[in-house]
């Protein structure tokens, strides 16, 4: 290895052979510092995001609700439908979930069966589902939100 005449004085050593390992060491140290900075930053971000100021969802839409809450909403609609028998109103209420009514009720019934809802509640939901499946408001259109 050749010794460069204009090499910075701080890297000069007694022997020119000593400069090359020193530069490599410097480069490696910088990479290590770079990754350590990223790791520290990531850890700091996680600490802040999870503990100090965790995310709070606001202004979400009903379609994002967890399945148990959606199912309870469907149950509310089914309870009302059982009392008033107004299917159009039930469809309008189901549209609040921003999904196809039949799909919403089907999923809710499946959830209710899986999680052991009371017989009365389950019957109400199934009745609503059956009514929706047979509903034909205008020439076979599927009720939509």
Partner 1 sequence: MNGERRGPWYLLTGLIIGAFLGLGFAWLVQPVRYTNTFPASLRADHKDRYRAMIAAAYMANPDLVRAKARLALLEDEDPYRMLAEQAQRSLAQGNTMEEARALGALAAALAQGSAPVQPTAASQSQATIQETPLASTSEITSTMAVTVTLNGVTLTIGSPVEFTPVPTRMATATPGGPFVLTNQQLVCDQDYGAPIIQIFTFNSAGQQVPAVEIVVTWEGGENHFYTGLKPEVGPGYADFTMTPGVTYSLRLAIGGQPINDLKTPECENESGKFNGAWRLEFIQP
Q: Which residues in this chain contact partner 1 in the complex, by CB under 8 A?
A: 8, 11, 23, 26-27, 30, 34, 37, 56-62, 64-67, 69, 72-73, 75-77, 79-80, 82-84, 93, 96, 117-121
Give 122 or 139: the residue with its C-beta nearer to partner 1. Answer: 122
- In the complex, the smallest distance separating the C-beta of residue 47 from partner 1, rounded to whole angstroms, is 18
Sign of CA pseudo-dihedral 71, 73, 79, 82 = negative
Q: How far is the CB of 140 from partner 1 (least distance, A)?
A: 28
**Other C-beta atoms lying within 10 Å of the C-beta of residue 53:** 9
Q: 109 or 141, CB closer to partner 1?
A: 109
Closest CB to partner 1 among residues 56, 140: 56
- Least distance in Å: CB of 104 to partner 1? 13
Which CB sits closer to partner 1, 47 or 89?
89
- Chain centroid to CA 132: 30
Kindly state the smallest distance separating residue 137's Cβ from partner 1, in Å.
Answer: 19
**Long-range contacts made by residues 78-82, C-beta under 8 angstroms, separation at least 24?**
78/105, 78/121, 78/124, 78/125, 78/127, 78/128, 79/121, 79/124, 81/124, 81/127, 81/128, 81/131, 82/124, 82/127, 82/128
């Amino acid at each position: 290895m050749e010794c460069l005449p204009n090499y910075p004085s701080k890297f000069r050593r007694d022997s020119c052979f000593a400069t090359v390992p020193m530069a490599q060491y410097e480069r490696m140290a910088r990479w290590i510092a770079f990754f350590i900075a990223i790791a520290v930053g990531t850890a700091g971000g996680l600490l802040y995001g999870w503990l100090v100021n965790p995310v709070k969802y606001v202004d979400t839409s009903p379609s994002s609700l967890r399945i148990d809450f959606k199912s309870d909403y469907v149950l509310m609609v089914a309870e009302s439908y059982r009392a008033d028998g107004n299917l159009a109103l039930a469809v309008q209420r189901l549209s609040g979930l921003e999904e196809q009514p039949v799909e919403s009720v089907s999923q809710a019934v499946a959830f209710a069966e899986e999680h052991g809802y009371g017989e009365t509640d389950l019957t109400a939901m199934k009745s609503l589902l059956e009514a929706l499946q047979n509903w034909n408001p205008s020439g076979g259109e599927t009720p939509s939100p």
